[in-house]
Copies of this chain bind each other. A is one copy, B any other.
Amino acid sequence: MTTIKDIAEYTGVSATTVSNVIHGKKNRVSPQTVQKIQDAIKELNYVPNMFARSLVSSSSKVVAMIDHLPTRTDANFSDSTLQLEVLSTLESILRENGYYLMFRRVETAEELTSFLANWNVDGLFVGGVIDEAFYEELEKTSTPKVYFDCYECNDDVCNIAINDSDAVENAIQYLIDNGHKRIAFASQPLHDGYVMKERFKGYKSALAKNNINFDSHLVFESEVGLDACRLAAKEIINTPGITAVMATTDLMAAGLMTAFRENGIRIPEDISIIGFDNFSISQMTVPPLTTLNHDMKIKSRLAGENMIKMLNGEKAEGRVECKADLIIRESVAKLN
């Protein structure tokens, strides 16, 4: 491993001069020595040691994406909104700006603060499910933070979210406009402070605005796997009068559609369905799924750019709301 010292000896100057060249302080070094040193750096393959650098500079260049592993045993990985595409986008932006991405999952807030101290983390992306206690602990640290879809967050912390409630409200309104009245809500478990709860709010408010009474029997909590969907579908079928289902995930919508089909229920003739995510599968279901679109690429780009702002000492935006709009395909029937 080549060090600054090596370069210094090799070129016959002091370590300070080498350091100055590395940091582009050209006004302090003669052009010839600059050249000489740069050549030596190339020749000896010098790269800075981040550990030495960080130790002395109070900036680690480490930005972490943390994923909150809830201790709840019924939570599974798909609870997290995190996707690889997000990580990749963030990594690109960080890389372009001289930062490095660590990926860390934590269970408790203490684990997290230890981690932050361990690595003197410069910035933090927070995805996944976070509860209130966790959030409050987190906000005690001064590390720049960008949240994804955080519902505990105050409006002034940088929080890249979509307005899940509004989105679902629109979808339900669309169903109502098409003559549906008994609309089921199928979702992963509705824990507080979790995305699905927010989508649930939109469901209820749409009903309220249209003077439709909320009926808790029309709420079906289920996991996204096909087996779970089959169970949920059975319950939906056995509940009389349901003409439409709002599923909080494309995956669940697709699962329900499969289960409906297995039971001889036609979509949308017998039952209409709307999904959420606009994943590529939503185009491939039979029939193509009407769903709510939100663009993770845009969201992660926003997150990354705001992080860089904060790392540069600039002020970042507070809550950023991305709209999720309804993509109308063929899974909703018009009732007469």
Tally of A interface residues using CB under 8 Å: 51
Residue of B nearest to A82 (CB): B84
Surface stretch bound by B, among A46-54, A188-196, A212-220: A46-54
Q: Given the interface contacts A51-B55, A54-B51, A254-B284, does A103 sit within 8 Å of B102 by beta carbon? A: yes
Residues on B with C-beta less than 8 A from A254 are: 281, 284
Q: Which of B82, B85, B95 contacts A77 (CB 8 A)?
A: B85
Residues of A223-256 at the interface with B, using a CB-CB cut-off of 8 Å, are: 224-226, 251, 254-255
Q: Could you give, for residues 99-119 of chain A, a 1 whenever the CB lies within 8 Å of some chain B CB and a 0 otherwise?
A: 011111100000001100111
Pick the interface stretch among A86-94, A157-165, A175-183, A305-313.
Answer: A86-94
Interface-central residue, A50, A52, A83, by most chain B CB under 10 Å: A50
Query: Does residue A258 face the partner (Cβ distance < 8 Å to B)?
Result: yes
Q: Are A47 and B118 in contact (CB under 8 A)?
A: yes
Q: Which residue of B92, B105, B119, B224 is within 8 Å of A50 (Cβ)? A: B119
**Least distance between A69 CB and chain B CB atoms (Å):** 9
> When A261-B286, A284-B258 are in contact, do A55 and B47 touch as well, CB less than 8 Å?
no
Q: How far is the CA of A209 from the CA of B12 in the complex (A)?
A: 68
**Contact, CB under 8 Å: B83 / A118:** no
Q: How far is the CA of A92 from the CA of B77 in the complex (A)?
A: 13
Is A283 interfacial (CB-CB < 8 Å)?
A: yes
Asked if A130 lies at the interface with its beta carbon under 8 angstroms from chain B, I say: no
Binding site for B on A (CB under 8 A): 1, 45, 47-52, 54-55, 60, 65, 67, 77, 82-85, 87-88, 91-92, 95, 100-105, 113-114, 117-120, 224-226, 251, 254-255, 257-258, 261, 280-281, 283-286, 288
13 interchain pairs (CB within 8 A)? A45-B117, A47-B114, A49-B55, A65-B103, A82-B84, A84-B87, A87-B103, A102-B102, A102-B103, A226-B283, A255-B280, A255-B284, A261-B286
Closest 6 CB pairs of A and B: A286-B286, A254-B284, A84-B84, A51-B54, A47-B117, A51-B55
Known: A51-B60, A91-B103, A254-B281. 17 other contacts (CB 8 A): A1-B117, A45-B113, A49-B55, A49-B117, A51-B120, A52-B55, A55-B55, A84-B84, A91-B105, A92-B105, A100-B102, A100-B119, A251-B280, A257-B284, A258-B288, A281-B284, A286-B286
